[in-house]
Amino acid sequence: METATSQSVIVACPHCDARNRVPAARSAAEGKCGHCGRPLFEGKPLALTAAHFDAHAFKSDIPLLVDFWAAWCGPCRTMAPVFEAAARELEPRLRFAKIDTDGEPELAARFGIRSIPTLILFKQGREAARMSSALPSGELRRWIERNL
C-alpha cells in the first residue's frame, strides 16, 4: 500500500477509485482527480459497493465513515439526512459512504453487520470505531470527533 508522506495525503476518487496524492498545503476539498478530472469531494455520502470498497477503506489516507443501511429500515431513513448533513460539514476531514446491506450482503457479512443502521469508522485501513444506532445530529458529530 502506498502511504502518504508528511507533505501529502492519498485520496481515492469517489468516481473512478483512482488514488490521488494531494499536497498537505492544499485543500483536498477543492481537489480534482488526476485520472477522471472530477471533484475528490462533493459534500455527500458515496454509495459504495464491494467492487469499490477497498479503494476507499484501505487505500486512502482519509478516514472513511460507512453507514450500513437498508431502504426498508425506519431508523436508517431517519438517520439518512443527519448523515448527509454531516458529510456536507465534515468532508474532506473524512469520507462518508453508505452501503446498502440488501444490495451488498457480502460486505455486510464481511463486517458482521447484525443490526442497522451500523456506522463503522475506518482509519488507516482498520476499523477504529463502531456504533449500531440511529444518532441525532449532535450525537453523531460528537461520536465522530471522539473517534477521529
pLDDT number for residue 2: 47
Tell me the CB-side half-sphere exposure of residue 10, using CA atoms within 13 A. Answer: 18
Domains (ranges, CATH) in the chain?
A: 42-147 (3.40.30.10)
Q: What's the confidence (pLDDT) of residue 6?
A: 64
Instruction: Look at residue 108 in the predicted model and tell me its pLDDT.
Output: 96
User: pLDDT value at position 1?
Assistant: 43
pLDDT given for residue 11 in this prediction: 93
Which residues are part of the catalytic machinery? 73, 76
Return the pLDDT at 24: 77
Render pLDDT for 64-79 as a digit per residue (tens, 0 to 9).
Answer: 999 999 999 999 999 9
Strands (E), 24-117: 46-47, 64-69, 95-100
In which residue ranges of the chain is pLDDT below 50?
Answer: 1-5
Per-residue pLDDT at 118: 97
Where b means 16+ CB within 10 Å and e means fewer, 74-112 reads eebeebbebbbebbeebbbebbbbbbbbeebeebbeebe
